[in-house]
Amino acid sequence: MLKITNLSKTYAGGVRALDAINLTLPSGMVGLLGPNGAGKSTLLRTLACLQSPTSGNIQFGDVDVIKNPYELRAQLGYLPQYFGVYPHMSCLALLKHMAVLKGITNKAQSQQQIEELLTLTNLTQFAHRNVTEFSGGMRQRFGIAQALLGNPKIVIMDEPTAGLDPAERDRLHDLLVSISTDKLILLSTHIVEDVENLCQHVALINQGKIVDSAPVQALIARLAGKLWLTHTHPENDAFVLSKSYRYGQPHYRVFAQCAPSADAVSVEPTLQDRYFIEINQQTKIANEGLRRVS
């Protein structure tokens, strides 16, 4: 559905935020996972045609996005990581404004969509209040509502669950899953659990490059039988993916070909394990590089 070819973005200061990215994404829910500064927001802004790439191409269906940004925008729902709202405008007024901008000129259609979205985002009772007076979570729900206006074919959401309480988060998840059948919903987050729960397909990005892109199961399958949970820090070359505590006792999730310690038990791999492997690998490579240089 979305094909990205050799996409690069270098900022004026010389920072290479995207480095020859090649990516093909199917319809449905797709997660974009990466640590802070990996290039997620830059990639999403570029896909949303908000900034132009230094080189490369983007194809959405039949649309050459670089050449015809308006054709993409006509099918786009976008929720940036941070956004604000105009003062002195109610939620309803602002949604109507956005609906008009998105080309929904039929009043009845606009009214119907807005009402549905207000219900879906649980904002109906606040429709007449200024959005500037909304709490963080309410404002985020407003952002989601406006992104979904116009029944977009591609929805790009940058950290959509930020600021939402657990109930609202679940509600959003329901909503996204229900609408994702015939469209591409690109979800960028570093909350791996969200991606694992929602997305069929995941792209891992780090340091401006796509590390891997595949269905979630395929990404995890490669780790089967190599993940261990232990209470003691392994002393060999085993890869410690994460350290957590339970009742004050440390728990290590370790990636190793065989049990790293006597108390280690084999566990089911998760997307988070894969994510940590990729991040740690990149860090390790970088550290080794630094060591060699010094």
The footprint of another protein (CB under 8 A) covers 12, 45, 48-55, 66-67, 69-70, 73-74, 76, 78, 80, 82-90, 92-93, 96-98, 100-103, 105-107, 110, 127-130, 132-133, 143, 146
**Which CB sits closer to another protein, 42 or 189?**
42
111 Cβ contact partners less than 8 Å away, ≥ 6 residues apart: none
Per-residue CA distances from 269 to 165, 190, 224, 277 (Å): 27, 18, 6, 11
Count the Cβ atoms, other than its own, within 10 Å of residue 141.
Answer: 26
Q: What is the closest distance, in whole angstroms, from the C-beta atom of residue 91 to another protein in the complex?
A: 9
Render 47-67 in DSSP notation, one character per residue.
Answer: HTTSS--SEEEEEETTEETTT
- Give the three-class secondary structure for 43: helix
Q: Are strands 76-79 and 227-230 parallel, antiparallel or unpaired?
A: unpaired
Q: Is 55 within 8 Å of 8 (Cβ atoms)?
A: yes
Closer to another protein by Cβ: residue 14 or 166: 14
- CB 283 to another protein: min, Å: 28
CA atoms of 174 and 171, how far apart (whole Å): 5
Nearest approach, Cβ of residue 62 and another protein (Å): 16
Q: What is the closest distance, in whole angstroms, from the C-beta atom of residue 24 to another protein in the complex? A: 22
Dihedral over Cα of 248, 264, 226, 224: its sign: negative
- Nearest to another protein of 15, 286 (CB atom): 15
Place of tokens 């790293």: 260
Cβ nearer to another protein, comparing 155 with 277: 155
What are the backbone angles phi and psi of residue 145, rounded to the nearest 5°? Answer: -60, -45
Measured from the CB atom, the residue of 24 and 106 that comes closer to another protein is 106
| CB 60 to another protein: min, Å | 13
Determine the 3-state secondary structure of 28 from DSSP.
Answer: strand
Q: How far is the CB of 130 from another protein (least distance, A)?
A: 6
Q: What are phi and psi of 73, to 5 degrees?
A: -60, -30
By beta-carbon proximity to another protein, the closer residue of 31 and 80 is 80
CA–CA separation, 30 vs 106, rounded Å? 31
Report the nearest approach of another protein to the CB of residue 34 (Å): 19
Nearer to another protein, 157 or 195 (CB): 157
